[in-house]
Amino acid sequence: MTASTAAPENPVALVTGATSGIGLAVARDLATRGHRVFLCARNADAVEETVAKLRAEGLQAAGTTADVRSKEQVRALVAAAVATYGPITVLVNNAGRSGGGPTAEISDELWYDVIDTNLNSVFLLTREVLKQGGMTQAAAAGGYGRIINIASTAGKQGVLLGAPYSASKHAVVGFTKALGKELAPAGITVNAVCPGYVETPMAERVRSGYAAAWNTTQEDVRERFESKIPLGRYSTPQEVAGLVGYLTTDLAASITAQALNVCGGLGNF
């Protein structure tokens, strides 16, 4: 039987890729809920501006630059978070990238970078937080820990012209389900949040790529995408962040090893 799973006062949350889009919405949502948020991105100016913006809103936030594809930088990131706020009790693996095209034309560099960014980083961050970030020890003391991986509905079904992206997100879902079972006895829950079409800077790049592949406009691509969504619109970063935030609460303590959609009905699986 596990220990109590009550959330600690002012939990420490590490959020990757948190200077725009879903990551920024997650960082703000968690900070608003009372988390002390340590964030990262590759752009130093973006990190500094984001931290300043959140602090100006009266929120507890700090951060540093990190390339989550690098084992050495991941190690330094986790150490910096612990040095700033103490043991990490919530990890949100959000950093990611799009990528695809006709499979016969995909370069080695693109394939490996998508896998490194979307999948290998999730493993590297999770392992480091469990070993050196204090989550395992904190869970042993209080029975609480949360790992939330931002996957995609593309992690449950194939995406046209998106083989690298879809493969990486399927793997994140599999990793989540396996790790959720492994860590459940310790009171650490592990879940994947699977957005569908979400209006972010990445969404603009994705529409641009499809427009080029289909020889059409980005607006036409958007209309095609929205026609597939039962709600008829893109989700917002805040709606995705809302589910992430809920998964950190005491009421979500029995939810683990799941892949939960936020997609307007695009995927019902």
Residues annotated as catalytic are 165
Residue 260 near residue 243, CB atoms below 8 Å: yes
Between CA 19 and CA 121 the distance in angstroms is 17
Determine the longest span between alpha carbons in the chain, in angstroms: 58
The DSSP symbol for 69 reads: T
Long-range CB contacts (< 8 A, 24+ apart) of 64-68?
64/38, 64/40, 65/40, 65/41, 66/16, 66/40, 66/41, 66/42, 67/42, 68/16, 68/17, 68/40, 68/95, 68/117, 68/121, 68/124, 68/125
DSSP state of 235: B
